[in-house]
Structure formats: structure tokens, C-alpha cells
Amino acid sequence: MVSSYMVTILIFLLPCLLWRYYSVDEAIEDGIAPVPLSPNRTVDVQCIIDIMDHLLACEATWHKGHSLAQTVFACIYLLRPERTASHPLLHSYCRVIRATCNAVVSVVSEARTHEEEDIFTMTYGLPLKVDGDDKGLSLLHAVEETISRQLRACKASSSKRRSVEDTEPLQTNPDLEEGYCKALLCRIRFHKHFYHVLTCMRRPQGKGLELARKHITSCLLELDNILKTLEFLRSNKCGTCEDGQENTTTASGCPPIGFDAGLNARLSAPTPPRTIKILSWRKAVEYFQKLLNDLDTICSFSLDPLLDEVFRFVVEFQKSRPDLVARAHLQLLLVKDGKLYGRDSMFAAISKAASLPEIMMNHEIQKTEAFVQLEQLVINLIKVLSTNAAWQRRKLGKILQDWRVIYIQLELVSSRDFGAASSISISEGDYMKISQCILLWVEEQTYWISTRFLVLGFELELYSPNEYCMVYWYINILLMKLIEKTHLKLLTGSEVAKRKVKKKKDSAKDSIRDFLIPPAVLLLRCHMYLSEGLTMMLAALRNDLNTFSSPGPFNTENERFVQHFELLLRASVPEHMSYLSFSEQISQACLSNLGRYNYFRDAQKILKELKGSFSNDQERMAELRRLEHVAEHNSVAVNLISRLGALEPSLKVSFEFIHHPYFATAVVKRC
């Protein structure tokens, strides 16, 4: 009888047993990657198109986190660059593929976002850089011009065709010439423009973003043209085709020649032994469409010098769930050489965000140790916000302690360490003013990071419905603190802006303006009312109907409270938080008071006011509409629950994230 241990070993070794070749030379000798691809020129062109399509699918699969050795470099033509020299089209295309892969590895390695997926940047000694690859683009351009001339010859009338008779056709069937020319051109042009996108986005200080957007537009156009070739290639395919056309890695549906996914696993020890599934050709095209749209969003950013706007842009960008390559480009654009966009000093950016007078933004105080540490914390925060949701939440929880420590250090410096700062020629008044403004901003960011840490838990589905009440309760308190600090910071900024001499007739207008609440604060208030409303609704349901309160089989509610908020409690954000204060506050909630204190109506009033303030901001308007749906539906649910909850025990209430990723919507049903 075969033991389970032997079965496990056999399963692990099964991919190894299925490998056909033990070296690249052996595979070539067996004819797996012939040059030319076929003595029949029509078949040769068809095979090249299949190779291009499969390489596109391999690139997309690699971008998704799989091994480079088992995806793109499963192509034997890429492993032996010298063999394709006699085939200009295949040779130039392989050079551009290698150059593109090298550019992607470079940007992801420099951004260090590959920590999420270490396997992405491992090159396993593959020929990623080959002498002459820098000329691959010019060679590909020459091939493109040749095919373009042939396409024009196909379209020319009989009278004009004589002038282009010297143009050699791609293949032997004149009826298929135009279709094959179009299929090749759109694939060549896509990779040419995609390489330009990658190089333009790497230019320092965002100087290549405008040109990159033009290439992105061209890439998207060529992807549409690639999709249009599907019918032609399917109807004129050669050879045997794979079952299930939707899952094939080529437009024609035929398997490509010149690939062996297990070869590198045999030759290179670090290569994972497991087999992987390559994305289908259609899904690969969809991936690149999304990637290009994400890159276009990055390129459209105005490079705003305000850190608050930078944070907001990154958070909004993350809502589209961008993949690794797009996030790496975003991070390198925002932070380069320790500067914002590679041009603005981080201290100047912090000073502007903290509403410091402009004259103090480049002060020598930035050289002190505490302020140098603060600059590094801001750089780390931008990098963390550029990672995927799971990694981001993990890192945000860890850096909370650092932000709390730097706040304490700055507080100590501002209160008793002016003597140390006197060596950098600054008056005591200016020193205290800078310190207090920076302190306020640091405190504001600490509460913002804490709020971000908690709301990401909803996106990652880390909370059960029984825990929503405590989470919204904690978020509500954080928002109250955040509103206080944000409003105080904005008031400080407005006071700095009004340091000029004013006429007496303007004093009445100024006093009225001082009482107006800034839109940013109003939006935070709206969030606060929504979280408070959800807290009270959930608390009333658990108190009166005994729902959303059942403890888990392994730990108590107190233990779950500590588990979810341990990092915040350890950093004392905010101070004096405990499970006891939570249980005491929600114990008074009841269904009869829900309608009387309907916080969702207050949120609706604020949202109406905000529409005028954000009318020119499409993203903010979309967010307001989402919040409005939550407030409207929950307001109706509160009225319904408060009237019928105690009378109808069969009433069932559930909470779903159908309108907003962080604020739940109550769904009321009769069982």
C-alpha cells in the first residue's frame, strides 16, 4: 500500500516528471523553436502573431505576480537572442520585449513595492539585458515601416500598384496580405508605444507625463485594433487549435511554438517548480487596458504641492484597485531622492500643509533631528499608501507608534529645547510658532492614519457584523478628534493669510467669513454623523432585539475589542480608550430613541451644502452621491426600525456595503 507521504512526494514531483527538455540546446535541437518558424511564409506570419499574443498573455501573468522565468522567458527565442538575427521581425520584437521587461523590473525594484510579491523582480540569471537591446526600438520601427509600405501597397488601386511592385509581400496569399499586415502592425505599435510610456513616466519631476499620456492614448487605440483582428485570425488559423476559445492565449486559438514553461524551472534552482496558468489572451488585453487607464490617471495628477491633496489622490487612486506596476510608478512619481515629485523639499511640503507662513518654510530648523525624522515619516507614509490594501493596513498599524513618538518628541522640543535651536539663528517666537503648527499637523495626520487603518478593515472584510458597532464607535471618536485638529489648522492658516492691513469696511465681512465652516471640515462631519448613526442603530438593535451581539465561541467581546484596536490603544490614539467606555456608551441606546436622534438626517443636510463647494470636482461629487445614498437609505431604515422593531420580532436587519465601501447600508426585511 502506497503511503500518504509517497503520494505527496509524487504530487510535488509530477511537474518535474512532465518536463520534456533539460536544456535550451536540447529543446532547440528537437525543433521546438525553429528559425524561420516555417518554410511556408503564410504559416510563418501566423506563428509570429501567435507568439506575440502569447507573450502579451505571459506579460500580464507576470505583472500579476508570477515568475518571470515561467511566463515571459518561457519563450526560447528570448533565451537565445542570437538565433533570431536572421528574422528581422521576430528579432526586433524580442528585443523590445526584453527592454520592456527590464524597464518594469527597474521601476518596481526602485519603488520597493515588490516586497508584496518578492517573486516579481527575481530574474534568475535570465538574459534580461542583451547587447544591442537599446537599438531594438529603431529596428522595430524599421520593420514597422516595411509592413506599413506593404499595407499601403495592398490598399493601392491597380494604377498605383505598379509604383510599389518592388515591395516584398509578407506571405504568399494575396487575399490575406492586408489582414496580416494590420494584425502585425497593431501588435508592433502597441509594444512600441508601451515602451515609450514606461520611459516617459520615469523622467524626473514628472516632466514626461504629458508625452506619456499621448503614448497611452496610442496604446489603447492599438489594443482596440488588436481586438478587431480576432475574427480574421480565427477564420484563417492554421494547425490544431485548443479547446475552449475563450481560454486560449492567442487570438487565433492555436498554441504558440517556441515556449516551454518548465524549462527554466529545470535549469534554475530558484524558479518555482509548480506549473502556473497563463492568463487568456482576452484577459491579458483587459489587464493592459486597465493598467494604461491607471497610468493615465497618474499622469493626469496636477503634482499639487499640498500633502493633504497628495494623500487624498493616492487614496482615491487606490479605489480602482491598481496592480503592482501602476502603484510602483505612482510611488516613484510622488517620492524621488527624498523630495516630493523629486523637486520640492519635504520640509517645505510639511510646512505648507501645516499652514506655516511662507517665510518660514525653508528655515534652518529643518536640519534638527526631530524634523529630519518627521520628513522620513512622511516619505514612508506616501510609500505605504501606495501599496495594496492588505499590505497598507499592516504597515499603517505599525507606523502609528512612530507618529505618536515623533509627536511627543516635537512636543518636548517645543517646550524646553529652544537653547539647542538657538545655534541655527532663529528667534524664540518663530521657533515656538513653527513647532506648534507642526505639532498640530502631526496630530491631525495621526488621527487620519488611524481612521484609514480602521476603514481598510471593511474593504478587507476583517470585521464580522457583530463587530461593526465597536468599529464605528471607534471611528466616530477618531473623526471627532480629526475634525477638531483639521478645523484648528485651517483657522490658523486663514489667520496667516489675513496678516495684511485691511480696511475697516471689510471687518464685518471678515467676521462673517470666520464663522463659515470649511468644506473639508463639513465632509468630515458628515462622516462622523454616518458613523455615529450606524453605531447607535447597531447598539439599539443589540440592546432591544438581541441582534449583532452574539459572542464568538473562542473569545469574548472584550478580547475582540483589544484584538482589533491593539495598535491604536498601544499608541494611545486617542487617549483613555477602553472596552469599558465603549460598553457604557452604547448601553443606553434603544429603539425608541433612534427616530429622535437621527444622525443620518444631519448628514443629509451637510451633503446638500457641500454640493456647491465641490461642484467642479467630479471625484468629490461621486463620493457625495455615495454618501447621500447611505444617509438616505439608513434614515428610512431608522424610522422603520424605531416604529416596528419592538412590535414585530420577525423583522430582520442586515448591513451591506452596497453604496459605499466603508459605510454600511441597513437592509430591513420581514422574515
What pLDDT does residue 645 have?
62
pLDDT digits (tens, 9 = 90+) for 444-483: 999 999 999 999 999 999 999 999 999 999 999 999 999 9
User: How far apart are the C-alpha atoms of 564 and 257, rounded to whole Å?
Assistant: 53
Q: Tell which wins on pLDDT, 506 or 42.
A: 42
pLDDT at residue 590 in the model? 87
**Mean pLDDT lowest among 193-197, 367-371, 495-499:** 495-499
> Which of 73-77, 192-196, 589-593 has the weakest average pLDDT?
589-593
- CA torsion sign, 294 to 297 to 303 to 306? negative
Residue 622 corresponds to which cell in the numbers above? Answer: 461621486
Please say if the pLDDT value at position 118 is more than 60: no
What share of the chain in percent tops pLDDT 70? 82
Q: What is the pLDDT of residues 16-34, one digit of tens each?
A: 444 466 678 888 888 888 8
pLDDT at position 493, please?
A: 67
- Over residues 400-453, the pLDDT tens digits come to 999 999 998 888 876 655 455 444 556 666 667 777 888 999 999 999 999 999
Query: Which amino acid is located at 482 in the chain?
Result: L
Predicted TM-score (pTM) of the model is: 0.88
Residue-wise pLDDT for 313-348, tens only, equals 999 999 999 999 999 999 999 999 889 999 888 988
Contact 374, 410 (CB under 8 A): yes
pLDDT tens-digit series, residues 311-320: 999 999 999 9
pLDDT of residue 13: 42
Distance, CA of 610 to CA of 626 (rounded, Å): 13
Q: Which three cell numbers stand for residue 508?
A: 464685518
Q: What is the pLDDT of residues 566-613, one digit of tens each?
A: 999 999 999 989 999 999 999 988 888 887 788 999 999 999 999 989
Q: Given a cut of 50, is residue 158 above it in pLDDT?
A: no
User: Which of 154-158, 262-266, 359-363, 434-438 bottoms out in mean pLDDT, i.e. has the lowest?
Assistant: 359-363
The reported pLDDT for the residue numbered 279 is: 94
Question: How far is 222 from 500, CA to CA, in rounded Å?
Answer: 56
- Which range (46-60, 163-177, 292-306, 375-389) has the least confidence? 163-177
Question: 143: which residues sit within 8 A by CB, 6+ positions away?
Answer: 88, 89, 92, 93, 188
